[in-house]
């Protein structure tokens, strides 16, 4: 069964169109009223846990969250008769960007910083939805088991260098979003205000540096150039927005430096995931052609190098934002 079965299950009708360009789940817009999404259970083996996690933080999300609809009088509100898991959310009209305009970088940071602040105060237990997610040792262990070939030799050499430069994020955990990309924001149609933060599948316990690093990485990627000089203005705006509402749990130069290393770390980790998936036959991320995941890995590794160059600037801007 597919989208038609899901529509019958929820009693929905209207025109159906593919929606978004995410790498994981299958998403559809139904009648300009609802977003209907099939959760990829190969990626999310504990898919019902991620739905429960969203419910547990609903109060903390407040107006920034979009809450899935439940089917009345159903024992299982998400599984259709064939056993696949779908969810339905109200469609929110607004602007979404894979490459966010420069003038929206700061309000984007403020939205993510606000969310992190709220999640830090959220006293609930979450269930692991994606085993090994954001665990760099997990991805390195997978990498070490993969067959080596000449095509990926430069990337494997890069991994060997970077694996010895991984920051320590073992302390200071809180609940985090887990996927703070700019394309997970819905902006007001005519103003810079963020209306909603979406894609909460990766809610987890983790260091806030993961969300900060992912946000800066995605905001600066929009320049289309992996040179630090071309990304500096966006990086500074991202930091100003993010740390306006969000405060580190304690002040120390070491903490600011670990946050400054986060964009490089998250770029490396994402690139490693793309590289692993390429070597495993593209089983995780959607691709349109063979080699696309390798290209994605190379792009993220270039970003990692650029952000490494920018660590002194990032650290200084973080200190300034926290004063």
Which of 31, 5, 29, 1 shows the shortest CA–CA distance to 17?
29
Are 297 and 200 members of one domain? yes
The span from the CA of 282 to the CA of 279, in Å, is 7
Q: Is the pLDDT confidence value at 282 over 80?
A: yes
Q: 87 near 40, Cβ under 8 Å?
A: no
Total domains in the chain come to 2
Are 149 and 234 members of one domain? yes
The span from the CA of 58 to the CA of 122, in Å, is 10
Are 79 and 220 members of one domain? no
The span from the CA of 130 to the CA of 138, in Å, is 12
Find the domain containing 83 and state its range: 3-90
Give a yes or no: residue 246 inside a domain: yes
CATH number, position 283: 3.90.1200.10
Torsions phi, psi for 237 (to 5 deg): -65, -40
Are 15 and 127 members of one domain? no
Task: Examine the fold and report which residue of 90, 123, 142 is the final residue of a domain before the chain moves on.
Answer: 90
Question: Of 40-49, 183-192, 222-231, 279-288, which range is least confident?
Answer: 222-231
Q: 23 near 84, Cβ under 8 Å?
A: no
CATH number, position 85: 3.30.200.20
**CA–CA distances in Å: residue 258 to residues 11, 53, 169, 210, 216:** 49, 28, 8, 10, 14
Are 165 and 201 members of one domain? yes
Are 52 and 118 members of one domain? no
Torsions phi, psi for 309 (to 5 deg): -60, -35
pLDDT at 106: 98
Give a yes or no: residue 126 inside a domain: yes
Give a yes or no: residue 309 inside a domain: yes
Region of 187 (left: φ > 0; alpha: ψ -120 to 50; beta: rest) is: beta
Per-residue model confidence as pLDDT tens digits over 153-163: 999 999 999 99
**Between 12 and 272, the higher pLDDT residue:** 272
Q: Is the pLDDT confidence value at 130 over 80?
A: yes
**Residue 109 buriedness (CB in 10 A; 0-12 / 13-18 / 19+):** buried
Are 113 and 82 members of one domain? no
pTM of the entire predicted model: 0.91
Are 42 and 183 members of one domain? no
Strand, helix or coil at 38? strand
Confidence class of residue 168 from pLDDT cuts 50, 70 and 90? very high
Give a yes or no: residue 31 inside a domain: yes
Q: 117 near 247, Cβ under 8 Å?
A: yes
Give a yes or no: residue 97 inside a domain: no
Q: 256 near 322, Cβ under 8 Å?
A: yes
- Residue ranges of E strands in the chain: 16-18, 26-30, 34-38, 86-90, 174-176, 185-187, 194-197, 204-206
Give a yes or no: residue 257 inside a domain: yes
Task: Examine the fold and report which residue of 25, 57, 90 is the final residue of a domain before the chain moves on.
Answer: 90
Give a yes or no: residue 36 inside a domain: yes
Give a yes or no: residue 95 inside a domain: no
Are 80 and 136 members of one domain? no
Are 80 and 18 members of one domain? yes
pLDDT at 322: 87
């Amino acid at each position: 069964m597919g989208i038609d079965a899901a529509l019958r299950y929820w009693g929905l009708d209207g025109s159906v169109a593919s929606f978004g360009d995410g790498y994981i789940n299958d998403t559809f817009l139904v009648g300009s009223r609802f977003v209907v999404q099939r959760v990829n259970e190969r990626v999310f083996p504990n898919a019902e846990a991620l739905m429960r996690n969203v419910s547990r933080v609903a109060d903390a999300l407040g107006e920034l969250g979009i809450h899935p609809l439940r089917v009345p009088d159903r024992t299982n509100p998400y599984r259709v008769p064939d056993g696949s898991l779908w969810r339905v959310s109200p469609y929110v009209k607004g602007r979404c960007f894979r490459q966010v305009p420069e003038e929206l970088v700061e309000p984007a940071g403020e939205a993510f910083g606000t969310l992190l602040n709220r999640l830090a105060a959220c006293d609930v237990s979450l269930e692991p939805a994606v085993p090994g997610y954001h665990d760099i040792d997990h991805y390195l262990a997978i990498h070490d088991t993969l067959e080596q070939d000449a095509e990926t030799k430069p990337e494997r050499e890069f991994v060997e260098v970077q694996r010895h430069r991984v920051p320590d994020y073992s302390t200071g955990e809180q609940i985090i979003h887990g996927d703070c990309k700019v394309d997970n924001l819905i902006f007001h149609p005519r103003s810079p205000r963020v209306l909603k933060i979406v894609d909460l599948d990766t809610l987890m316990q983790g260091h806030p540096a993961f969300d900060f690093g992912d946000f800066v990485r995605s905001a600066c990627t929009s320049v289309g150039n992996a040179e630090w000089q071309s990304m500096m203005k966006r990086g500074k705006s991202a930091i100003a927005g993010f740390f306006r509402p969000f405060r580190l749990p304690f002040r120390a130069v070491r903490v600011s430096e670990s946050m400054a290393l986060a964009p490089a770390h998250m770029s490396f980790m994402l690139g490693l995931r793309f590289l692993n998936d390429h070597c495993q036959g593209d089983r995780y991320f959607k691709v349109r052609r063979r080699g696309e995941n390798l290209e994605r890995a190379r792009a993220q590794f270039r970003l990692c190098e650029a952000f490494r160059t920018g660590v002194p600037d990032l650290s200084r801007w973080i200190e300034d934002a926290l004063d």
